[in-house]
Amino acid sequence: MARRTKEEALATRSHILDTAELVFQERGVSRTSLNDIALAAGLTRGAIYWHFKDKGDLFNAMLLRVTLPMEQMVHASADPHVDAPVDHILESFVDALRKTVHDPQVRRVFDIATNKVEYVDELDKVWERHRQVHADMLAHVESALKRAVQRGQIVLRAPARTVAIGLHAVIDGLIRTWLLEPDSFDLVRVGRQVLEGYLAGMAPVPPAPPAITPVPGSSPAPAGARRGAGRAARS
């Protein structure tokens, strides 16, 4: 019985979050009350408050179930056991772009978080959650970049923190631009090209070939003589 009750509670919570996504996207977050979500979900306000303290708590839970797997992928790039941290960062970001395109729930939540929310009053904790996620991601990307430098895999021409901020701006800008007009470009293909172009600027410069020092007192043979000697050797 206890297991069934727990499963029912989880199902109700999931139903509330599913409903909140749809109502938030339709009305905007600031114009939606918990009562609106309760009515749309066929539940009482008490049922909503049993699972969530307030609208900010509900919004963060809605966001977390979509973004947490992506955050974990980015955080893993800072793991010292990852052999190619920059490649891991690239694939993590491209995976986020892919999910934005192909997963309706991810796209819906990103649309709400980008275009349908105002960080005022009761949504202060939403802003704080976004700020913390942003800070954590920057810290992990910065750490991964520094490890790649130590391994000789990349060369940074700006501080690691600056490069991490730039990467975040690139991925955020790509998603925001695509959400405005999804048919305007292929988010995954173009996104990968943009990110690879950004990261290409970190490639180590190959060493210059060693200079040939002429033997003192010798002079190079004339070009014609060298060609003649080559023909003689082959005959």
Q: Could you read off the pLDDT tens digit of each residue along the chain, which spans 235 residues?
A: 456 688 888 999 999 999 999 999 999 998 899 999 999 999 999 999 999 999 989 999 999 888 877 888 888 887 888 899 999 999 999 999 999 999 999 999 999 988 888 877 777 777 888 888 889 889 999 999 999 999 999 999 999 999 999 999 999 999 999 999 999 999 999 999 999 999 998 988 776 677 676 666 655 555 554 445 444 444 4
Tokens found for residue 55: 């609208």
Side-chain half-sphere CA neighbours of 184 within 13 A: 10
Whole-angstrom Cα distance, residue 176 to residue 170? 10
Counting every residue written for the chain, the total comes to 235
How many C-beta atoms surround the C-beta of residue 229 within 10 A?
11
Residues in contact with 80: Cβ distance below 8 Å, sequence separation at least 6, in sequence order: 147
Rg (CA), the chain: 28
Whole-angstrom Cα distance, residue 54 to residue 29? 13
What is the predicted pLDDT for the residue at 3? 62
What is the predicted pLDDT for the residue at 115? 87
Is-contact 45 35, C-beta < 8 A?
yes
Cα dist. 77→83, 89, 198 in Å?
9, 6, 17
Whole-angstrom Cα distance, residue 235 to residue 144? 59
Whole-angstrom Cα distance, residue 40 to residue 26? 12
Furthest-apart CA atoms within the chain: distance in Å: 99
What is the predicted pLDDT for the residue at 40? 96
Whole-angstrom Cα distance, residue 148 to residue 66? 29
